[in-house]
Structure 1
């Protein structure tokens, strides 16, 4: 049955595109629809047509089509040829537990999920970001580094990317060695090296174009960025940047009772 576009919750609550914003029109529509789907839409609900949404947002059908394509890629909507666009039954968010020492891949596998980290071969190694170098002592700056990049997936869906800069003795131990299950910590443990202290710094930012391509998401996606520094006593082992896709990952931590 055709929907009444004017009374549809998306039409009532939609925020028209702001032509003064530096964000592209399609990205504004994509962001607004994603928020509204989370807030006012049910699984399987039919959305207004492209023409109706173009009128609602004050944009062209091509702009709406681009926004819907990005939403479909994120798993928010399902587009059915000749029928319309419907709210999708999205997979549950992947939960990452802070403070647990068990590797995240092992936790998911124990729960019957498929979890893997795929080593990506770079052209030129990326330099260690300033955000990490600020956390280092002066004598740690010039240690040799080995850059490793991994793509993390759960049940075939990309959820995050880790860039690791292995330092000093650890870098020499890993040079030319294949990672065990895509894990730096498991590989280092095999050669008798481990980070016994980990300091983490968490922030939020928008995905870059390169990250969007690897994570198979739109370019206005939000990331949780986990910067970390690992040492064994006073010895620097690893600095790392892990980005987790906000639309697919949530974080959990527990605090002791009073």
Structure 2
């Protein structure tokens, strides 16, 4: 059931709490308000009072208070003592080229942003996921793999995690090797063994427990997952899985419609 509150400038369309859902009532309220704020509400605008929100959602003020606390922890709102709750001025989303060809760190640095990757050298080795293995030829599935893990940040905020599994000559070369600027692609280019052909598969899913810790996000957050397979001269170089946090990253592409209609 949806209710519209036309008295407030937000014109909040409220999806009332589903009592049959396994998700707690406060989490449903927080999710609903977050979806409204994600639509581009102006920073500084005051939200309805706890009493009004409780009436709109059909829940207690304690439930609303929990939801607002969660929104505050995520940086969506600011709670001012004795004044109320206000829409926070959140950092803009990091925009990534959907072609996945341009080194994202270089592009953001050129724009004056602080973009960096951190090599998590102490991370426990992980097996190559089946989602990648099933895309390989029987010959490519054999042989040892070297696992590397990196955390990606923009202005100190984590936006993504990349796990790579190096094969063949790349695995032998990178064993015990320090990465250039924590970048595997730059290091492989320096060694002249970088992939010259990369196949990408993109999907959306919820974060897992380990990702919530590294990305400093909630358990119900969504991520874009980029599965990739890189080859050089037909030889497998690496497979990788990169998760981009959906609340901090969006993908960009443009289409030349004029070119499509040229004879």
* TM-score, length-scaled by structure 1: 0.89
Pick closer, same or farther for the CA change 1:67–1:169 going to 2, 3 Å. Answer: farther
Describe the SS at the equivalent of 2:226.
strand
Asked whether the equivalents of residues 10 and 33 of structure 1 are also in contact (C-alpha less than 8 Å), the reply is no
Asked whether the equivalents of residues 227 and 240 of structure 1 are also in contact (C-alpha less than 8 Å), the reply is yes
Shift of 1:55: 3.8
CA distance, structure 1, for counterparts of residue 14 and residue 239 of structure 2: 43
Shift of 1:194: 0.6
CA distance, structure 2, for counterparts of residue 125 and residue 155 of structure 1: 28
Give the corresponding residue for 1:164: 164
Aligned residues: 254
CA distance, structure 2, for counterparts of residue 108 and residue 40 of structure 1: 23
Describe the SS at the equivalent of 1:186.
helix
Given the alignment of the two structures, is residue 43 of structure 1 paired with residue 40 of structure 2, yes or no?
A: no
Asked whether the equivalents of residues 122 and 149 of structure 1 are also in contact (C-alpha less than 8 Å), the reply is no
Asked whether the equivalents of residues 146 and 175 of structure 2 are also in contact (C-alpha less than 8 Å), the reply is yes
Q: CA RMSD in A?
A: 2.2
Give the gaps of 5 or more residues in structure 2: none
Asked whether the equivalents of residues 228 and 240 of structure 1 are also in contact (C-alpha less than 8 Å), the reply is yes
Give the gaps of 5 or more residues in structure 1: none
Describe the SS at the equivalent of 1:201.
strand
Asked whether the equivalents of residues 27 and 220 of structure 1 are also in contact (C-alpha less than 8 Å), the reply is no
Shift of 1:46: 1.2
CA distance, structure 2, for counterparts of residue 62 and residue 160 of structure 1: 34
Asked whether the equivalents of residues 97 and 252 of structure 1 are also in contact (C-alpha less than 8 Å), the reply is yes
Asked whether the equivalents of residues 204 and 225 of structure 2 are also in contact (C-alpha less than 8 Å), the reply is yes
Give the corresponding residue for 1:99: 99
Higher relative contact order (CA 8 A, sep 6+): 1
The C-alpha deviation readout for 1:201-228, integer Å capped at 9, x for no partner, is 1111112232122112221111111111
CA distance, structure 2, for counterparts of residue 197 and residue 46 of structure 1: 50
CA distance, structure 1, for counterparts of residue 109 and residue 12 of structure 2: 43
Pick closer, same or farther for the CA change 1:184–1:193 going to 2, 3 Å. Answer: same
